[in-house]
Amino acid sequence: GIQVEQSPPDLILQEGANSTLRCNFSDSVNNLQWFHQNPWGQLINLFYIPSGTKQNGRLSATTVATERYSLLYISSSQTTDSGVYFCAVEGNAGNMLTFGGGTRLMVKP
């Protein structure tokens, strides 16, 4: 099946700093989503982005499907950005999402 790798696994930032999270995947995809999992376990949709670039406030994402990677940019980080960020992809052959291992982000005040 499709493989998804996220980097870095852990990230500690000072409030106000910028960061880039990376997601590499092993095959072509129908769907790529970025999620933020809060401390209560809720997966919050950030982006649906199988290709191209999108922006939502301080967050933006870019997927280069031909090179099989996606990037999530967080600018001017806030303590509320802390949590785990997951990338998940759906291959062309199936309907299921395959998740990466996540990036655990801690933003310090």
Partner 1 sequence: DAGVTQSPTHLIKTRGQHVTLRCSPISGHKSVSWYQQVLGQGPQFIFQYYEKEERGRGNFPDRFSARQFPNYSSELNVNALLLGDSALYLCASSGRGIPGGQTQYFGPGTRLLVL
Interacting residues with partner 1 (CB under 8 A):
30-31, 33, 35, 40-43, 45, 48, 50, 86, 88, 90, 94-102
Taking the complex as a whole, how short is the minimal distance between the CB of residue 1 and partner 1, in angstroms? 9
Taking the complex as a whole, how short is the minimal distance between the CB of residue 65 and partner 1, in angstroms? 12
Contact call for residues 99 and 23 (beta carbons, < 8 A) = no
CA distance from start to end of the chain = 40
Nearest CB to partner 1, comparing residues 16 and 52 = 52
Nearest CB to partner 1, comparing residues 77 and 98 = 98
Contact call for residues 12 and 26 (beta carbons, < 8 A) = no
Nearest CB to partner 1, comparing residues 24 and 50 = 50
Taking the complex as a whole, how short is the minimal distance between the CB of residue 34 and partner 1, in angstroms? 11
